[in-house]
Structure 1
Amino acid sequence: MLTFILIAVTVLVSWLAFERPPLLNRLILWPPAIDRNHQYDRLLTHGFIHADWSHLLFNMITLYFFGRVIENVIGQLIGPFGFLLFYLSAIVIAILPTYLRHRHDPTYRSLGASGAVSAVLFAFVLIKPWSMIIVFVLPMPAILYAVGYVAYSFWMDRRGGDNINHSAHLSGAIYGVLFMLLMEPRVGTIFLERLMSPSFR
């Protein structure tokens, strides 16, 4: 249920921001607004707006497929609102390295739920590493996608130039794994056991 609510709110806020540029400018992560005007809410609100419909669609489809599983797992660990805490905190944690790097750069802006979605994706991989997922119509194990995702994000973050915050992808991925391990340390052992016993289901 929380996954669907987050998707609905994100789609609504993103759509409103598409139609109202002043709203987008108020919600987007813009370091000077945080540093000078103390608008700390931007560390969270930037995760509910997107650059365009394709950006929004990709993130929400990913959240739909993986969020429901992780919502159920986290709900069993820390209660019904645990997933909401996880997702919202992932938005903030994933963007912090980027914010600190660009906090004095008035030309820098960032938006999108990619950091939080990355956290959800990697929490899923920790639980079901060999689960088959569809990537650009091609089926592949979640763990293989995760390795490729990290390698690509790391490379593109070093390369730069495509206006995508790959650093947030990496931070979100790390946070997703650490959050799950903190909530239930046995998840690490379970992951290793499943990793050593491939089951493509």
Structure 2
Amino acid sequence: MSTILIVIIAVTILFSFKGFNDVAFFIKFEFHIGSIRAGDQIRMISSGFLHADVGHLFFNMFTLYMFAPVVVAYFGEVSFLLIYIVSLVFGSLLTLLLHKNDYNYRAIGASGAVTGIIYSAILLEPDMMLGLFYVIPIPAYLFGIGYLLYSIYGMKAKNDNIGHTAHFGGAIGGYLITLLKEPDMFVNNTAMVVLLAIPIIILFVMSKLGKL
């Protein structure tokens, strides 16, 4: 397993468990629009290492574990880390953009960074298969698209503290960096490039129409 992947997972687990057991710590480092607009920019990064509960943490880290090796194999550890961090930042920036006037908006989770890795891996290996519940084989791109469609539901429902908006920012980050590093995909993998853009386009259309 990649060293940098182990480090990311370990740091996220330690940071998240600290947050589970220390409310003051959790509040200090969560994504909070009011605090960020007041100048507390570290929350744009630190919130990506906090999670709502063990299930939320496990799902994100397990998903990262499944998709990260593809990106590391193609680009190496440094570029993998770059995609992870840039995707995390893109997720926070999009969240800030869409919720900038909601000073009480709060969110946490590595979802933005993880979604960036998902999108990168699917672009690199469009025929990759996953074992849903370890049994049912499904194409990885269906998982990625479903992940974002679930995010739209979460954004509309607004019934948890998970940063669903960040999923899209992260997807955009992973999508763009991967295509910048491998521009031949526009020709060699056109169908997947277009397919993975659809959920992102749906998000912005819904945002423009005020449906979020």
Specify if TM > 0.5: yes
CA distance in 2, matches of 1:150, 1:48: 20
Contact preservation (8 Å) 1:46, 1:112: yes
Corresponding residue of 1:13: 15
- 1:95 equivalent in alignment to 2:109: no
| 1:52-103 deviation per Cα after TM superposition (whole angstroms, max 9, x unaligned) | 000000000011111122122222xxxx422212111111111212112323
What is the correspondence of 1:95-114 to structure 2 with a 5 Å cutoff? 95-114=92-111
Corresponding residue of 1:198: none
**Paired residue type of 2:78:** F
- 1:39 equivalent in alignment to 2:40: yes
In structure 2, the CA distance between the partners of 1:97 and 1:3, relative to structure 1 (3 Å rule), is: same
**Paired residue type of 1:19:** N
Corresponding residue of 1:199: none
Return the TM-score normalized by structure 2.
0.81
| Percent of paired sites with the same residue | 36
CA distance in 2, matches of 1:151, 1:194: 17
Q: Report the count of equivalent residues.
A: 189
**Structure 2: tracts of 5 or more residues without a match:** 194-212
Return the TM-score normalized by structure 1.
0.85
The runs of at least 4 aligned residues of structure 1 exceeding 6 Å deviation read: none
Contact preservation (8 Å) 1:28, 1:45: yes
Contact preservation (8 Å) 1:127, 1:191: no
**Structure 1: tracts of 5 or more residues without a match:** 196-201
CA distance in 2, matches of 1:152, 1:19: 28
Say which SS state the counterpart of residue 81 (structure 1) adopts: helix
Which residue among 166, 169, 184 is the counterpart of 1:168? Answer: 166
| 1:8-28 deviation per Cα after TM superposition (whole angstroms, max 9, x unaligned) | 110111111111111111110
In structure 2, the CA distance between the partners of 1:24 and 1:71, relative to structure 1 (3 Å rule), is: same
Q: CA deviation at 1:104?
A: 3.4
| 1:76-133 deviation per Cα after TM superposition (whole angstroms, max 9, x unaligned) | xxxx422212111111111212112323323211100001101101111111122111
Corresponding residue of 1:84: 81
CA distance in 2, matches of 1:149, 1:194: 16
| 1:175-200 deviation per Cα after TM superposition (whole angstroms, max 9, x unaligned) | 211110011212333334889xxxxx
What is the correspondence of 1:50-199 to structure 2 with a 5 Å cutoff? 50-75=51-76, 80-137=77-134, 138-157=136-155, 159-163=156-160, 164-192=162-190
**Paired residue type of 1:45:** S
Which residue among 21, 24, 27 is the counterpart of 2:26? Answer: 24
